[in-house]
Amino acid sequence: MTRPHRRRFGAAVPLLALATALVMHPGDGARADSLTGKLEKVENGGSRVVIGGKAIAVSGARTNVCIGGICDQGRDKLKAGMTCAAEIVDRAGTLEARRLSCK
């Protein structure tokens, strides 16, 4: 008897791992939009920022923060007035940054 996941993927794939990946990162396959402007407001230690009137969530795990060309900075280093470019996705109705590059 052939198992359905082996027919579909050609190899044994742990279904629990596949299901977990789909549940934990549902927006990762979404198309990213770009947004550029000044940081108008920084809230909760950088977990929420406002660029161009749009509130954007900044994840500690899923967002890559670059400041002055140095990446993997902490979001707590974000300050109001910085000029930033953001790649954003819609995750369950909330805009979230995948990458945030600031000067």
* Domain region containing 12: 1-28
The pLDDT value recorded for residue 46 is 94
Which pLDDT tens digit goes with each residue over 8-21?
555 555 655 655 55
Look up the CATH number of the domain holding residue 55.
2.40.50.140
**Are residues 84 and 37 part of one domain?**
yes
The pLDDT-based confidence of 22 (bands split at 50, 70, 90) is: low
Residues sharing a CB contact under 8 Å with residue 24, sequence separation 6 or more, in sequence order: none
**Are residues 41 and 22 part of one domain?**
no
**Are residues 54 and 94 part of one domain?**
yes
Which pLDDT tens digit goes with each residue over 82-98?
999 999 999 888 999 99
**Are residues 51 and 8 part of one domain?**
no
**Are residues 41 and 20 part of one domain?**
no
Which pLDDT tens digit goes with each residue over 39-69?
999 999 999 999 999 999 999 999 999 999 9
Burial class (CB in 10 A: 0-12, 13-18, 19+), 62: middle
pTM value? 0.67
